[in-house]
Amino acid sequence: MPLNKAFHALADPTRRAVVRRLRDGAATVTELAESFDMALQSFMQHLKVPEDCGLVKSKKVGRVRICEIDHQQIGSAEEWVSEFCRARERRLDRLDEHLNNVGKKRKKHDK
Amino acid sequence: MPLNKAFHALADPTRRAVVRRLRDGAATVTELAESFDMALQSFMQHLKVPEDCGLVKSKKVGRVRICEIDHQQIGSAEEWVSEFCRARERRLDRLDEHLNNVGKKRKKHDK
């Protein structure tokens, strides 16, 4: 299930850091390893998890491996969380409206 | 780490369903079990994970256990994902602007 995979991939600080770095554009594995101050070999191990989760995809161009975010996968997580936020905001708006109405009625009653 | 916990809690369909149900307000464990068409005992097992992750908190009021979302925990996940979206949108805006400028220069050149 894509959502399970996406959230699982985000449940680790190194994986989140890779995703955040790639948000600004594709990068080679060497560039990524450098920006995390890691040996290429160790970094390859770290990269395996978000790749397995389908959050990051990579392709070999000549002798270089280029990584980028799989926006479809992270998009499903974005959608779930933002729908959650919007629904919560709508609920708070309704509460706000209700409290305003109670306030108005009270004022009217106090007059 | 709160973010790890929050994303871990969201990486499972039952846990997401509990969170979505509680988004609209607190509910007793019995109400939750009913809305998931589950025996109370089985549901209690399912509820344990988001509670352990700190995404859902519960308190006993008399003989009833009331569950609600721990907004601080899910808030950190919201923040991370929405910051990710905003930064991506800003990047797309800049790309859009760049392409517009290229288009304008081309038109000028073609005249």
pLDDT tens track of chain A, all 111 residues? 678 888 888 888 888 888 888 888 899 998 888 888 888 888 888 788 778 877 888 899 999 999 998 877 777 887 888 777 777 777 778 878 888 888 888 888 877
A contact test, residue of B7, B24, B72, B73 with most A CBs within 10 A: B7
Residue A39 confidence (pLDDT) = 85
ipTM of model: 0.73
Band the pLDDT of B64: cuts 50, 70, 90. very high
> Which residues contact residue B38 at a Cβ distance below 8 angstroms, ignoring those fewer than 6 apart?
B46
Name chain A contacts of B77, Cβ cutoff 8 Å. 10, 81
Chain A positions contacting chain B at CB under 8 Å are 1, 3-5, 7-8, 10-13, 16, 19-20, 23-25, 74, 77-78, 80-82, 84-85, 87-88, 91
Band the pLDDT of B69: cuts 50, 70, 90. confident
Closest by CA position to B15, among listed B65, B41, B53, B42:
B53
Name chain A contacts of B74, Cβ cutoff 8 Å. 84
Summarised one tens digit per residue, pLDDT across range B19-62 is: 888 888 899 998 888 888 888 888 888 788 778 877 888 899 99
A7–B4: do the CB atoms touch at under 8 Å? no
> What number of CA atoms fall less than 13 Å from residue B55's CA on the CB side?
30
Closest by CA position to A11, among listed B76, B85, B19, B110:
B76
Band the pLDDT of B92: cuts 50, 70, 90. confident
Contact B82, B36 (CB under 8 A): no
Q: What is the distance in angstroms between the Cα of A14 and the nearest Cα belonging to chain B?
A: 11
Residue B106 confidence (pLDDT) = 82
What's the rounded Cα separation, in Å, for the pair B100 and B111?
17
